[in-house]
């Protein structure tokens, strides 16, 4: 089975099911073996730019030819049986329409499987769909059972907490955006309150006053596509805003930076890792601390 995955979360799912893709997206970097596979797309946005510059580049790209392009020569060369893409966000990965057009115009005999994940159940359903498409049904069933067991363990432990802290997860800093999709559900499973977005809602820009008025007990900066180092380089976009130091989360040292690229914006199996990390931030007395390459306290990064 020759599989091409055009978004990092699908790449992680496919590897978890025991299949190595023959082609990936330019962003696919986990597991490390994914970096060795040929890329079959390219981005018109510089991922190393600042938050505001990336935002401007995305707007320009969307007004033009789009954020991503399919490398048709590379796609034809790997000759896939299945191409996995997404319909969640045009900014996050190649849109399924572009992929379907490329497959049709190249005359490839390939199934295009579109994932549209907005919740943990959506993730689990997508794992089953991918498993069926690449002949790994049994492996998919085992993986989903394991992930559900871990989710249930978090929920059971969080239910013992004596408080339910309010939480805000920011998945962009300039402009400020509050994370939606799977994050509201996960925060609540982790024993927190998420008062700035409904379950499954799209992330969208917010007025800074909305965030300051919410004044969360726990604040997490996790910009889309940024690891901890890149977030640190752009941290002033958040910390120099009026009223930042007055946040309850900042005063009580419950403000954090999370690797958004790997753990918040990527709807693959490691979302359950993210759930466990969020549970630790909400209830450090009940859960083990997350690894330092995934989450760090914000205060030392400002020093």
Residue 204's pLDDT is what? 87
Across the chain, where does the E strand assignment appear? 3-5, 41-43, 68-70, 82-86, 111-115, 167-173, 176-178, 204-205, 218-221, 255-258, 295-297
Predicted pLDDT at 239: 96
Q: At what angle do helices 137-158 and 120-133 cross, to 10 degrees?
A: 170
Q: What is the pLDDT of residue 63?
A: 43
160 DSSP β-pair partners = none
Residue whose entry in the numeric block shows the structure tokens 């085992």: 142
Residue 126 DSSP SS3: helix
Backbone angles phi, psi at 245, to 5 degrees: -70, -10
pLDDT digits (tens, 9 = 90+) for 173-183: 999 999 999 99
Of 255, 232, 234, which Cα lies nearest the Cα of 245?
255
39-84 pLDDT, tens digit per residue, is 998 765 545 556 666 656 555 545 445 556 788 899 999 999 999 9
User: What is the pLDDT at residue 98?
Assistant: 77
Q: What is the pLDDT of residue 222?
A: 97
Residues 129-162 pLDDT 10s: 999 999 999 999 999 999 999 999 999 999 999 9
- Which tokens is 125 given? 């359903």
Are 15 and 273 spatial neighbours (Cβ–Cβ below 8 Å)?
no
Q: Tell me if 23 sits within 8 A of 39, measured CB to CB.
A: yes
pLDDT of 52 reads 64
First CA to last CA distance, the chain: 51
State pTM to two decimals. 0.90
Residues 162-214: pLDDT tens digits?
Answer: 999 999 999 999 999 999 999 999 999 999 999 999 998 988 889 999 999 99
Collect all residues with Cβ–Cβ distance below 8 Å to 5 and sequence separation of at least 6. Answer: 11, 13, 14, 21, 23, 24, 25, 28, 84
Count of alpha carbons within 13 angstroms of residue 150, beta-carbon side: 19
Q: Looking up tokens 């055009």, which residue turns up?
A: 6
Identify which has the larger pLDDT, 303 or 253: 253
- Cα–Cα distance for residue pair 183/118, rounded to 1 Å: 9
């Amino acid at each position: 089975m020759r599989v091409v995955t055009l978004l990092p979360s699908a790449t992680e799912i496919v590897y978890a099911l025991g299949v190595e893709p023959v082609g990936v997206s330019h962003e696919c970097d986990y597991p490390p073996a994914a970096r060795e596979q040929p890329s079959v797309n390219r981005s018109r946005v510089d991922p190393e730019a600042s938050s505001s510059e990336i935002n401007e580049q995305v707007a320009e790209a969307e007004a033009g030819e789009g954020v991503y392009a399919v490398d048709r020569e590379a796609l034809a060369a790997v000759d896939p049986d299945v191409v996995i893409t997404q319909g969640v966000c045009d900014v996050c990965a190649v849109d399924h329409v572009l992929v379907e057009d490329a497959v049709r115009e190249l005359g490839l005999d390939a199934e295009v499987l579109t994932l549209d994940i907005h919740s943990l159940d959506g993730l689990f359903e997508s794992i089953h769909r991918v498993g069926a498409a690449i002949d790994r049904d049994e492996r998919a069933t085992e993986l989903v059972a394991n992930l559900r067991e871990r989710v249930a363990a978090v929920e059971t432990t969080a239910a013992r907490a004596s408080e339910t802290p309010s939480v805000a997860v920011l998945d962009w800093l300039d402009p400020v955006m509050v994370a939606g999709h799977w994050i509201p559900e996960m925060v609540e499973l982790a024993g927190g309150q998420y008062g700035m977005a409904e379950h499954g809602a799209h992330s969208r820009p917010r007025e800074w006053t909305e965030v300051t008025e919410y004044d969360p007990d726990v604040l997490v900066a996790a910009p889309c596509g940024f690891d901890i180092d890149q977030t640190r380089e752009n941290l002033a976009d958040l910390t120099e805003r009026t009223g930042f130091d007055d946040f309850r989360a900042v005063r009580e040292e419950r403000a954090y930076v999370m690797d958004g690229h790997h753990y918040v914006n990527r709807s693959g199996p490691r979302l359950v890792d993210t759930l466990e990390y969020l549970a630790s931030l909400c209830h450090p007395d009940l859960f083990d601390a997350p690894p330092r390459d995934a989450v760090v306290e914000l205060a030392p990064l400002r020093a």
